[in-house]
Amino acid sequence: MKSQLIIISLSLMIAIPVLAQTLTLPELSTNQIESKQAAAVIQNKASEIKQHVLQQLQNTPNAMMKEAAKEPNQATFNIFPIETPLMSPGKFETRSIDLPQLPQPLFIIGSDELSKNWLKQHVEQLKQIKAIGFLVQAKNESDFKTIKSIADGLVIIPLSGNQLAVQWNIDHYPVLISRKAIEQ
């Protein structure tokens, strides 16, 4: 369990800059994105979000550390079920986007059969592009472990995807988000 806590911590360290740089982008219009002023706004917003998340992590009670210090088979972390009511498994129409500041590709999946099959088909490509996965639906730890197994070493972060759904107007998964497109 200690190794899982380290993996989760490392995942958060990767996810914080990714989320900080991407979640506020759709608030801006195309005209704003083209201006230098908008670039400064994006950078400031990303910095604010990153600072807020880091502060929240620093203010987290020591309970998690005490939990990690226990024997591995005694530690318990109950983050399940993970639900994202604003998204469901299904077909997604490819959409062009312009996110040059996205540090690396992201993918959004659930633990459903469509997502598992999609991940199996794309795992090698996802590894090559060093994509980070967000698991937005899982009933239990067993679902998470199944996805981790299929992901074969890819970073998978379990979290509700409602914010992603709203910010990028995504109603179905699985999807891959790159600097140029959101696609299935």
Q: What is the pLDDT along the chain (184 residues), one digit of tens a residue?
A: 433 333 344 344 444 444 444 443 444 444 444 555 555 655 565 555 555 544 444 444 344 334 433 433 434 457 899 999 999 999 999 999 999 999 999 999 999 999 999 999 999 999 999 999 999 999 999 999 999 999 999 999 999 999 999 999 999 999 999 999 999 9
Question: Is the Cα torsion angle 50, 53, 59, 62 positive or negative in sign?
Answer: negative
Q: Which amino acid is at 20?
A: A
- HSE-up (13 A, CA, CB side) for residue 89: 14
β-pairing verdict for 88-89 and 106-109: unpaired
By three-state DSSP, how is residue 132 classified? strand
Q: How far apart are CA 16 and CA 46, in angstroms?
A: 10
CA 35 to chain centre: 28
What CA dihedral angle connects 96, 97, 100 and 106, to 10 degrees? -90
CATH of domain 78-184: 3.40.30
> Minimal CA–CA distance to 136: which of 98, 107, 178, 93?
107
Contacts of 7 (CB under 8 A, 6+ apart): none
Give the start-to-end residue ranges of the domains of the chain.
Answer: 1-77, 78-184
Six-digit token string for 33: 């994105």
> Minimal CA–CA distance to 119: which of 80, 175, 158?
175
pTM of the model: 0.61
